[in-house]
Amino acid sequence: MKRIGMLTSGGDCQALNAAMRGIIKCMENSGEQLEIYGFLNGYQGLIYSKFRMLTGRDFSGILTMGGTILGTSRTPFKTIKDPDENGLNKVEAMKQNYYKLQLDCLVVLGGNGTHKTANLLREEGLNVITLPKTIDNDLWGTDMTFGFQSAVDIATACIDMIHTTASSHGRVFIVEVMGHKVGWLTLNAGMAGGADIILIPEIPYDLDNIIEALEHREKSGKHFTIIAAAEGAISKECAKMSKKEYKKYLEKRKYPSVSYEIAAQIGERTGHEVRVTVPGHTQRGGSPCPYDRVFASRLGAEAGQLILKGEYGFMVGYRNREIVKVPLEEVAGKLKEVSPDATIVKEAKALGISFGD
Ligand code: F6P
């Protein structure tokens, strides 16, 4: 008999349900008796003891379902050790609820922030297993996170659709892609969608270079340009600022995001008609793509096997085409960024894509 607590935390993404289904299916198929406690809305459920008892049947028919059957929320790691508004020690509360339910382990599906808290709970003595989810693909210790490929598909479809209207009107279009502080999603969707310019946080841009790339296209008879800009894209001037200065700059900025700022600057400098499209949270929505269904199911099956063996303290990740277990202490607190020297960046440049650098 295994008593398992499970939660999904942070921004949702596709294939969370597929991953949970994978864990439970694998364990049920082994013949192990299970008691499954599904904590609701991320760590909030564990802190305040809000859970649903689940059975294998709850995991049937959810392979293709987006979102998470458990609900999710953001519980920032920065304040996890601070008491809540009623003076409750949140870390102690999580531990007490874990012990009260006599759990064998806690399975946590999440991204960066979620992994910091998961690692803290491990340090506090809980048996923790995690799975890497996020459309940003920015989790250290794994080449891939589930949700990422589905989001690449959606952002690419958006760029594809913009292509035809941009071409008809001879306009410059900026498609703003999610990804928080990293450029994986923009880089991949940008390349897949045939973007002419790709702007990512790891490679600060110079407006002059963006304009040069636009004019170059214009001169070669291409009267429209597609720019895929990460929501975290940053200019060279801003990249030189301290964190505090940049924060102040953003507070004063009159545009809702970097794409609108670049659009206004290009318009002023060149007279081009520029439009911005922001697919936003659609990138996290809907059904997981086939890749993510398979990938999340594989991670789930491996996690299930670790739990059956009583091996805890790992994230189940993916490295060099193999599913691997990565110690949580290696994962927590690190960001996997796009290296400006990565071969994919060099290849994109070889294809003529400008990064504005
Ligand atoms: O981390 C996933 C993500 O979608 C990021 O790409 C984005 O910056 C952020 O979450 C948006 O967060 P929220 O859903 O809280 O607005």
Q: 136-190, pLDDT tens digit by residue?
A: 999 999 999 999 999 999 999 999 999 999 999 999 999 999 999 999 999 999 9
**Any residues with CB less than 8 A from the CB of 26 and at least 6 apart, and which?**
300, 301, 303, 304, 305, 308
Query: Which mutation among 148, 178, 187 tests ligand 1's pocket best, with the greatest number of atoms within 8 A of CB?
Result: 178
Distance (Å) from CA 145 to ligand 1 centroid = 15
Distance (Å) from CA 94 to ligand 1 centroid = 25
Residue ranges per structural domain of the chain: 2-147+288-331, 151-284
Distance (Å) from CA 15 to ligand 1 centroid = 16
CATH number of 2-147+288-331: 3.40.50.450
307 phi, psi to nearest 5 deg:
-65, -40
CB-based contacts of 295-298 (< 8 A; 24+ apart in sequence): 295/15, 295/144, 295/146, 295/149, 296/15, 296/16, 296/18, 296/19, 296/22, 296/131, 296/146, 297/18, 297/19, 297/21, 297/22, 297/63, 298/22, 298/323
Rounded mean pLDDT of 235-259? 97
Rounded mean pLDDT of 187-202? 98
pLDDT over 70 for what percent of the chain? 100
Give the pLDDT band of residue 215 (cuts 50, 70, 90): very high
pLDDT computed for residue 181 by the predictor: 96
105-110 and 51-54 strand pairing? unpaired
Residues with CB under 6 A from ligand 1: 11, 111, 134-136, 178-180, 231, 284
The number of helix segments (H) and strand segments (E) in the chain equals 13, 11
Q: 273-290, pLDDT tens digit by residue?
A: 999 999 999 999 999 999
- Which has the closest alpha carbon to 111: 85, 78, 145? 145
Give the pLDDT band of residue 59 (cuts 50, 70, 90): very high
pLDDT over 90 for what percent of the chain? 100
pLDDT computed for residue 68 by the predictor: 98
Residues 133 and 111: beta-carbon distance below 8 Å:
yes
pLDDT computed for residue 39 by the predictor: 98
Q: What angle do CA 278, 281, 84 make, to 5 degrees?
A: 130
Residue nearest to atom 10 of ligand 1 (CA): 11
Atom of ligand 1 nearest to the CA of 135: 2
Distance (Å) from CA 220 to ligand 1 centroid = 38
Q: Would you tell me which CATH number, out of the four given (3.40.1390.10, 1.10.510.10, 3.40.50.460, 1.10.3300.10), belongs to the domain 151-284?
A: 3.40.50.460
